Structures are given as C-alpha cells and as structure tokens.
Amino acid sequence: MSKVDIVKSKDLPKSFLETHPHNLYLYCKAYSASVRSNSATVKNRSEVSGGGKKPFAQKGGGRARQGSIRAPHYTGGGVAFGPSNDKNYNLKVNKKQKKLALHHALAEKAANEKLFVTDSIVIDSGKTKDAVAYIASLNQRDVLIVKEMIDDKTFLAFRNMANVYLIESNELNAYLVAAYHSVVLEKAVLDKIVQEV
C-alpha cells in the first residue's frame, strides 16, 4: 500500500482557493433536488371514487347547492391543492459551476487537512480486515476513496464498510466531497483535476 500524504492548501492551484462558496451551495442544492423521490401525491375531486350523483335538489331544500359529495369540503372528498408527483424539482447547474463547486469543496478539505493523496489504493488480498486496517491508519471518521479505476479485489475489500465509500474518478462530484469527513484521492485523479483548471 502506498504512502498517504496530506494535501495542504498551498499544494492546490490558487484558483481553487479563490472559488466562491456559493457555487458549492448551488451544486449541493441541485444534487439533493435530483435525488428526490417525488412520490407525494393525493387524489383530487375528479379522481376520488363516487360522487357522480347530485346529492340533493338544487332548489327548495333551504341548503346551499351541492353538485357532488366528493368536493373538497366533504369527508372522503378530493384534496383541493395537494401535492402531485408531476412536479419537476430539478435545478440546472452548468458545467463551469460544477467544476468550480468541486474545486471549492477540495480546497475546503485541504484547508482542514482532510484531503489525502496516495500513488495507488489497492487491497491485493481483497479482505475487509486489510481495508479496515488501512482506514484505521488514516484516523478519520468517514472516508471517500477515489480511484482512477476500481479493481475487483479492492472493491470486495471496501464494499462492506459502513464508513467508507469507494468510487471511480468519473463519479467524483462536489456533493460527495462535501458530504464526507475526509477524502483520499489517487495522485493520478488529483493531477487530472488540477490540469483541467
């Protein structure tokens, strides 16, 4: 297993440190909105069964006119302005904002000494106990591990750990970086992010 080094703020490009935090806020808000299940729904008066017949005559009863017993003010009636699952919660974030959000999230982790870099992350044995020992050596609460390409043995070693999330570089985003206590990147992944500035 390669040596793990802490990435300091001074090791990152100056532009990372100057990125406005609002970009991260917008990205996290959009990410959260995109994973909403959007399943809340109720029946309106046209969807509730029953109520096809006029309950009583329009005139002569001394009561207010009613057309259906499934109107919203009746027990068992439809809901007037309830939620429906056809609402679109998605928010648009452009590519540049996504990149700036990631840069700010990494800069935040580096400022707090929660960003680590290593040449490679490989558990050759595929055993979870070896992965646990590796994470214990970092002495961090929960860890996001970013590999350029996940191999089968390393995947098996990390998959049952509750406080670790292993992803490939193409899955990396600002929300995950912000959500985890600390981040471990392979050097190739960090170099690629820095080169794209």
pLDDT digits (tens, 9 = 90+) for 126-142: 999 999 999 999 999 99
Please name the residue ranges forming H helices in the chain.
14-18, 22-34, 95-111, 128-138, 152-158, 174-179, 187-195
Q: pTM (2 decimals)?
A: 0.82
Across 47-53, average pLDDT: 92
Per mean pLDDT, which range of 75-79, 81-85, 147-151, 193-197 is the poorest? 193-197
* Residues forming beta bridges with residue 5, ordered by sequence position: 117
What is the C-alpha separation between 21 and 103, in angstroms, rounded?
10
Average pLDDT, the chain: 93
**What is the rounded CA–CA span in Å between residue 102 and residue 115?**
13
**CA-to-CA distance for 113 and 108, rounded, in angstroms?**
9
Examine the pLDDT at 84 and tell me if it is beyond 70.
yes
% the chain with pLDDT above 70 = 98
Residue 7 has pLDDT above 70, yes or no: yes
Q: Which domains does the chain have, with CATH numbers?
A: 4-21+92-195 (3.40.1370.10), 37-88 (no CATH)
Contacts of 3 (CB under 8 A, 6+ apart): 118, 119
The answer, yes or no, to whether residue 28 has pLDDT greater than 70, is yes
User: For residue 1, what pLDDT band results from cuts at 50, 70 and 90?
Assistant: low
